[in-house]
Chain A
Amino acid sequence: QKEVEQNSGPLSVPEGAIASLNCTYSDRGSQSFFWYRQYSGKSPELIMSIYSNGDKEDGRFTAQLNKASQYVSLLIRDSQPSDSATYLCAVNMGYSGTYKYIFGTGTRLKVLA
């Protein structure tokens, strides 16, 4: 069974620190990877997508992908209390042109003021 695994946390970091969130996936053929943020009681909102090995930066966020290790991570620099949320890793395990995502259980991040 195809799986996406995340540490449920909570991960607590002080304000201004770097938060590092990790995700592993089981299907070696996966091509598309996504990080979503979900505040309590709200639906997920897209933070970043990544498709190629290496780093992708967008503001304070950096996604890292290593397909050989089947590992994707999200770094949040200069963490703010408003970053406190659950971060969901999603992997598109469908064939090209489909969008059937498998979600991890999410990592709860707490940024301490």
Chain B
Amino acid sequence: GAVVSQHPSRVICKSGTSVKIECRSLDFQATTMFWYRQFPKKSLMLMATSNEGSKATYEQGVEKDKFLINHASLTLSTLTVTSAHPEDSSFYICSAPAEETQYFGPGTRLLVL
């Protein structure tokens, strides 16, 4: 299957700072990538769809100015959590479609102190 990587795998930051998470498709190109957030013992919640060459599409209730998404190339999408607060602490996972299936990155665990 296709491989998706994420970096960093874990990040701890102070409240008010910004954090950038990278998502890369390693062996295929992806014009679309997806960003999810998962709280403990909860299901995956789609945050936004990242589109190469155009603006991201955000799900209802997700603040686009807080969660900045940039699909810089056919293999890279970034999610920047701006002015992070403790309630933003979560497990962030990206995915990319290949062969009619979504493949997930390993996730980034964010802890905001």
Residues on A facing B (Cβ under 8 Å): 32, 34, 36, 41-46, 49, 88, 90, 98-106
The verdict on B43 contacting chain A, using a C-beta distance below 8 Å, is: yes
Residues of B within 8 A of A100 (CB): 34, 46, 49
The verdict on B100 contacting chain A, using a C-beta distance below 8 Å, is: yes
Structural contact, B107 and A49, CB atoms closer than 8 A: no
Could you show 15 A-B contacts with beta carbons less than 8 Å apart? A34-B102, A36-B104, A41-B109, A42-B106, A43-B93, A49-B101, A88-B43, A88-B44, A98-B32, A99-B97, A99-B101, A99-B102, A100-B34, A101-B46, A102-B46
Structural contact, A44 and B34, CB atoms closer than 8 A: no
Residues on B facing A (Cβ under 8 Å): 1, 32, 34, 42-44, 46, 49, 91, 93, 97, 100-107, 109
Residues of A within 8 A of B105 (CB): 43
CA distance A53 to B109 in the complex (A): 38
Which of B1, B34, B42 touches A105 (beta carbons < 8 Å)?
B42
CA distance A49 to B4 in the complex (A): 18
A44 and B32 in contact (CB under 8 A), knowing A100-B49, A101-B102? no
Chain B residue with the shortest CB-CB distance to A51: B100
CA distance A44 to B43 in the complex (A): 11
A34 and B107 in contact (CB under 8 A), knowing A43-B93, A104-B43? no
The smallest beta-carbon distance between B29 and chain A, in angstroms, is: 14
Structural contact, A44 and B101, CB atoms closer than 8 A: no
The smallest beta-carbon distance between A76 and chain B, in angstroms, is: 19
CA distance A98 to B33 in the complex (A): 11
Chain A residue with the shortest CB-CB distance to B97: A99
Residues of A within 8 A of B32 (CB): 98-99
Structural contact, A99 and B34, CB atoms closer than 8 A: yes
Residues of A within 8 A of B43 (CB): 88, 103-106
CA distance A45 to B93 in the complex (A): 12
Supply 13 further A-B pairs (C-beta < 8 A) apart from A43-B106, A105-B42.
A32-B100, A41-B91, A43-B104, A46-B103, A49-B100, A88-B43, A88-B44, A99-B34, A101-B34, A101-B46, A101-B102, A102-B46, A103-B44
